Amino acid sequence: MKITITSDYITLGQFLKFAGIVHQGGEAKAFLATHKVVINGEEDERRGRKLRDGDTLVIEGVDFEIVK
């Protein structure tokens, strides 16, 4: 699934809300503590992680790609 951003980057926490994975930004921390998120082939749980054009994510078996 492609997620289009208009800025240079989006944080992982913002992405989770934007993609509808969490409903409120505050839920991101708890989600990341209990779910595996793979960014560009590496597991990451930092909600402040900057995602940029071309980055790929796998969350709960769903593939995402950031495009600008």
Q: What is the pLDDT of residue 36?
A: 95
How many angstroms separate the CA atoms of 65 and 51, rounded?
10
Q: What is the pLDDT of residue 25?
A: 77
9: left (phi over 0), alpha (psi -120 to 50) or beta: beta
How many angstroms separate the CA atoms of 67 and 18, rounded?
14
Say if CB 50 and CB 9 are below 8 A apart: yes
Q: What is the pLDDT of residue 54?
A: 97
CATH fold, domain 2-67, is 3.10.290
Q: In terms of DSSP bridges, do strands 62-67 and 2-4 run parallel, antiparallel, or are they unpaired?
A: parallel
Comparing 21-25, 32-36, 45-49, 56-60, which segment has the lowest mean pLDDT?
A: 21-25
Domain boundaries, the chain: 2-67
> Per residue in 39-50, pLDDT tens?
999 999 999 999
